[in-house]
C-alpha cells in the first residue's frame, strides 16, 4: 500500500474491496454477520433455518439506509418516555364514573372475572382530579393538565390498550423498550436502526437524550443493542456542556491529526481483523469512523442556541439548561438531519401520590408543565416543516396507574 493518505470515502471504498471476498462468504453463510449475531433469535422465531439471502447488515456500513419490506410512511421516530407512571386516568383516559366512586370500596364489577394474585380485602377507588374536556374535531378527551397539547388533539392517536406484566420500574422499562423484562435484548431504537439504517452517516442512527435529573432506573440497557451488533445501541448525548463527552480533541491534537490517527488505527485494525476474523473488530472500525464523523457534525446539531427566538418561545427552551424542552427541540433537529430514532427519557413521573413530588396536585402538575408546551411545539414545528408526515412521535411510559387509592404497586 502506498503512503498517500486516503480520504474517508476512499478509505471506505478500499475497505469495501478488501472485505468483498470475506463478505461473499458471510453472505453465503446464512445471512451475513448480522445474522450470525442474531441467529439464536431467528432460530427461535422461525422454523426456516435458511432465511433469505438479503443481507441486512453490512459490517462496513452498518448504518446504511435500508429499504423495508413494505413501504412505511414514517422515516424517523421520536420516542418520549416518561419514566415512572404518569396516570392515564388523569391525562387522557376520561373516567367520569371513577370520579363518582372516589373513596368508595372497589366495586365488585372491577374485580369480578379477573384473577388478582393476592388481593385481600377491597381497596378504595381514587377518583380523578383532572378536569376533562373533549378537544378538537375528534372529540378526544384531554384533561386540564395538558392545556397546550389539548389544542392539537386532532394530531394525536390514543392507544388505550397497553398492558404490562411487570411490577417494578426497571424491568418494566426494559419490557417497554426491549420487549423483555430481563437484560440483554435489543431496544426498540436499536431494532429500528438495525432494520432501516440511518439517513445521516455522520451522526448516530439512534440518539438518547435524558432529562429530569436522573437516567431511567433500568440504566443503559433500555437503549442497549442486546444481541444485535453493538453499533445499533443508542448513543447517550449530554444535555449540557460538550454535547457528547470527549467529543473535543485534546489540545495537542487537531482535526487533521485526529483524522490521521484514526486512519492509522483503522488501517491497523483491518490487519487485526485479517488475523482473528473477529466481527467485533469490524464493528470497532466503523465505531472509530463514526466517532470522527460525530466530532465534525455533532456540535452543530446539538447546539440549539442558533434557533430563532420564536422557536425558543414556542418550545419553552432555554439554551444551556438541562430540560425536557431542550431535548425535544434537539429531537426535532436530529430527525431533520436524518437521525432514525431519537429516544427521550424524562425522569420523575412516578406520581403515586405519597409525597409532594409524586402527588397528583403538585407533582403531576409540575411534570406536565415541563412537557406540555414542548411536545405541542414539536408537533406544530414538524408540521410546518413538512416533517410530521414522516415522523412518528410516541409518548408513553412503562406504567400507568390503577384507579385505586394509595395503592402503590401492581399495575395490570
Partner 1 sequence: MNRRIFNSLRWAFPMLIVGGVILIFPDIFSVKDKDSFYVEEVKPIINKKCISCHGGVKQSAGFSMMNRASFFKKNESGKPAIDISNPSQSELLARINHADPMERMPSEGKPLSSREIKIFEKWVDLGAPWGEHWAYKALSPVKIPSNTSWMGIFGGNKEKENAVDAFIQQKLNENNLKLNPAADKETLLRRVSLDLIGVPAPKDIADKYLKSTSPDAYKMLVDDLLKLPQFGEKWASVWLDIARFADSKGYEKDGNRQIWRYRDWVIQALNKDMPYNQFITEQIAGDLLPNPKDEHFIATAFHRNTPTNDEGGTDDEEFRTAAVIDRVNTTFEGLMSTTFACTQCHGHPYEDIKHEEYFQFLAFFNNTRDEDTVEEFPVIRHYEKTDSLQLLDLVAWVKKTATPKRADEIYSFLKFLQPLVYATHADLFVNSELYDTKYLVFRKKSSARIKDVVLNGEVRFIAQQRGNSKKGKLTIRLDSLRGKVLGQFNIPSTEGKWAFTPFEIQPVYGKHDLYFSYENASLTSDTESGFTLNSFHLDHAFPGNEGDPSKKTMDSLYWTLLRKNPPNTPIMMDNKAENVRKTQVFIRGNWKVKGEVVSPGIPKVLSNSFNLTKPNRMGMAEWMTDKRNPLVSRTLVNRLWEQLFGTGIVETLEDFGSQGTLPSHPELLDYLSWQFMNKHRWSIKSSLKEIVLSQTYRQSSVVTTEKLKKDPNNRLLSRAPRIRLSAEQVRDQALHVAGLLSNKMYGPSVMPYQPEGIWASPYDGNKWKLSEGEDKYRRSIYTYYKRSSPYPSQLTFDGTGRNVCNARRIRTNTPLQALVTLNDPVFMEAATHFGQKMLENPGLSVNDRIQHGYHILLNKPISPTLLQPLVKLYKDSKAYYKSHSELVNEIQLENPDVEDAAFALVANAMLNLDVIITKN
Q: Which of residues 356-385 bind partner 1 (CB under 8 A)?
A: 356
Output 104 or 277, the one with its CB closest to partner 1: 277
Cell of 344: 427521550
Confirm if 196 and 168 have CB atoms less than 8 A apart. Answer: no
Give the Cα separation of 184 and 107 in Å (integer): 41
Confirm if 332 and 378 have CB atoms less than 8 A apart. Answer: yes
287 belongs to the binding site for partner 1 (CB under 8 A): yes
Half-sphere exposure of 298 (CA within 13 A, CB side): 23
Closest CA to 404 of 348, 353, 363, 349: 353
Backbone angles phi, psi at 397, to 5 degrees: -150, 180
Handedness of CA 265, 246, 290, 31 (dihedral sign): positive
Output 315 or 349, the one with its CB closest to partner 1: 349
131 belongs to the binding site for partner 1 (CB under 8 A): no
CB of 199 to partner 1, least distance (A): 17
262 belongs to the binding site for partner 1 (CB under 8 A): yes
Residues 13-72 that bind partner 1 (CB under 8 A): 25, 29, 36-37, 39-40, 47
Binder among 105, 260, 362, 394 for partner 1 (CB under 8 A): 260
Q: Which stretch binds partner 1 (CB under 8 A): 99-107, 138-146, 291-299, 309-317?
A: 291-299
Binder among 264, 300, 361, 362 for partner 1 (CB under 8 A): 264
204 belongs to the binding site for partner 1 (CB under 8 A): yes
Query: How far is CA 116 from each of CA 9, 105, 112, 352, rounded to the nearest angstrom?
Result: 60, 16, 10, 20
215 belongs to the binding site for partner 1 (CB under 8 A): yes
Output 67 or 249, the one with its CB closest to partner 1: 249
162 belongs to the binding site for partner 1 (CB under 8 A): no
5 belongs to the binding site for partner 1 (CB under 8 A): yes
Confirm if 105 and 382 have CB atoms less than 8 A apart. Answer: no
Q: How is residue 86 annotated by DSSP?
A: -
Confirm if 358 and 367 have CB atoms less than 8 A apart. Answer: no
First to last CA, the chain: 63
Give the Cα separation of 34 and 279 in Å (integer): 9
How many CB atoms sit inside 10 A of residue 131's CB?
10
Output 29 or 394, the one with its CB closest to partner 1: 29
Q: What is the 3-class SS of 197-220, one letter each residue?
A: CCCCCCCCCEEEEEECCCCCCCHH
Give the Cα separation of 404 and 90 in Å (integer): 13
106 belongs to the binding site for partner 1 (CB under 8 A): no
Q: Which stretch binds partner 1 (CB under 8 A): 98-106, 147-155, 223-231, 302-310?
A: 223-231
Q: How many residues bind partner 1 (CB under 8 A)?
A: 95
Confirm if 351 and 85 have CB atoms less than 8 A apart. Answer: yes
CB of 91 to partner 1, least distance (A): 23
Output 52 or 412, the one with its CB closest to partner 1: 412
Q: Which stretch binds partner 1 (CB under 8 A): 138-146, 263-271, 366-374, 383-391?
A: 263-271
Q: Which stretch binds partner 1 (CB under 8 A): 13-21, 64-72, 236-244, 367-375?
A: 236-244
Q: Which stretch binds partner 1 (CB under 8 A): 81-89, 163-171, 299-307, 335-343?
A: 163-171
Closest CA to 244 of 293, 280, 284, 198: 293
Binder among 66, 144, 236, 369 for partner 1 (CB under 8 A): 236
Output 247 or 392, the one with its CB closest to partner 1: 247
Residues 313-332 that bind partner 1 (CB under 8 A): none
Residues 173-202 that bind partner 1 (CB under 8 A): 182-184
Query: How far is CA 233 from each of CA 80, 126, 245, 344, 397, rounded to the nearest angstrom?
Result: 17, 40, 17, 14, 20
Binder among 24, 105, 162, 257 for partner 1 (CB under 8 A): 257
CB of 155 to partner 1, least distance (A): 31
Cell of 385: 416543516
Output 201 or 382, the one with its CB closest to partner 1: 201
Binder among 231, 360, 377, 382 for partner 1 (CB under 8 A): 231
Output 68 or 121, the one with its CB closest to partner 1: 121
Binder among 69, 115, 160, 309 for partner 1 (CB under 8 A): 115
* Sheet containing 341-349: order of strands: 235-237, 206-211, 341-349, 76-84, 391-396
Binder among 273, 315, 341, 395 for partner 1 (CB under 8 A): 273
Amino acid at each position: 500500500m502506498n503512503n498517500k493518505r486516503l480520504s474517508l470515502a476512499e478509505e471506505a471504498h478500499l475497505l469495501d474491496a478488501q472485505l468483498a471476498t470475506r463478505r461473499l462468504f458471510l453472505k453465503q453463510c446464512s445471512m451475513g454477520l448480522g445474522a450470525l449475531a442474531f441467529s439464536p433469535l431467528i432460530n427461535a422465531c422461525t422454523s426456516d433455518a435458511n432465511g433469505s439471502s438479503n443481507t441486512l447488515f453490512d459490517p462496513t456500513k452498518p448504518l446504511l439506509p435500508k429499504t423495508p419490506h413494505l413501504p412505511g410512511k414514517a422515516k424517523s421516530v421520536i420516542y418520549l418516555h416518561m419514566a415512572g407512571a404518569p396516570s392515564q386516568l388523569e391525562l387522557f383516559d376520561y373516567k367520569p364514573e371513577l370520579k363518582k366512586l372516589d373513596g368508595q370500596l372497589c366495586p365488585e364489577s372491577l374485580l369480578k372475572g379477573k384473577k388478582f394474585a393476592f388481593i385481600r380485602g377491597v381497596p378504595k377507588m381514587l377518583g380523578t382530579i383532572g378536569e376533562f374536556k373533549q378537544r378538537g374535531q375528534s372529540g378526544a378527551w384531554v384533561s386540564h393538565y395538558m392545556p397546550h397539547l389539548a389544542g392539537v388533539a386532532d394530531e394525536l392517536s390514543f392507544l388505550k390498550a397497553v398492558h404490562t406484566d411487570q411490577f417494578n420500574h426497571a424491568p418494566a422499562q426494559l419490557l417497554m423498550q426491549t420487549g423483555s423484562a430481563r437484560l440483554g435484548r435489543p431496544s426498540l431504537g436499536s431494532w429500528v436502526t438495525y432494520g432501516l439504517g440511518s439517513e445521516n452517516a455522520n451522526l448516530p442512527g439512534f440518539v438518547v437524550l435524558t432529562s429530569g435529573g436522573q437516567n431511567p432506573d433500568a440504566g443503559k440497557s433500555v437503549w442497549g443493542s442486546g444481541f444485535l451488533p453493538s453499533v445499533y445501541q443508542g448513543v447517550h448525548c449530554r444535555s449540557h456542556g460538550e454535547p457528547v463527552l470527549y467529543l473535543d480533541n485534546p489540545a495537542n491534537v487537531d482535526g487533521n491529526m485526529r483524522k490521521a490517527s484514526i486512519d492509522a488505527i483503522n488501517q491497523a485494525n483491518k490487519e487485526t481483523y485479517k488475523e482473528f476474523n473477529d466481527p467485533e473488530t469490524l464493528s470497532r472500525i466503523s465505531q472509530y469512523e463514526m466517532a470522527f464523523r460525530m466530532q465534525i457534525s455533532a456540535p452543530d446539531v446539538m447546539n440549539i442556541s442558533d434557533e430563532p427566538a420564536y422557536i425558543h418561545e414556542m418550545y419553552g427552551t432555554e439554551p444551556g439548561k438541562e430540560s425536557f424542552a431542550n431535548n425535544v427541540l434537539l429531537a426535532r433537529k436530529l430527525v431533520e438531519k436524518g437521525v432514525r430514532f431519537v429516544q427521550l427519557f424524562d425522569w420523575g413521573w412516578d406520581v403515586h401520590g405519597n409525597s409532594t413530588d409524586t402527588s397528583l396536585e403538585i407533582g403531576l402538575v409540575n411534570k406536565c408543565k415541563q412537557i406540555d408546551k414542548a411536545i405541542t411545539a414539536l408537533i406544530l414545528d414538524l408540521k410546518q416543516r413538512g416533517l410530521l408526515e414522516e415522523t412518528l412521535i410516541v409518548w408513553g411510559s412503562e406504567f400507568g396507574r390503577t384507579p385505586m387509592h394509595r395503592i402503590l404497586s401492581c399495575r395490570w
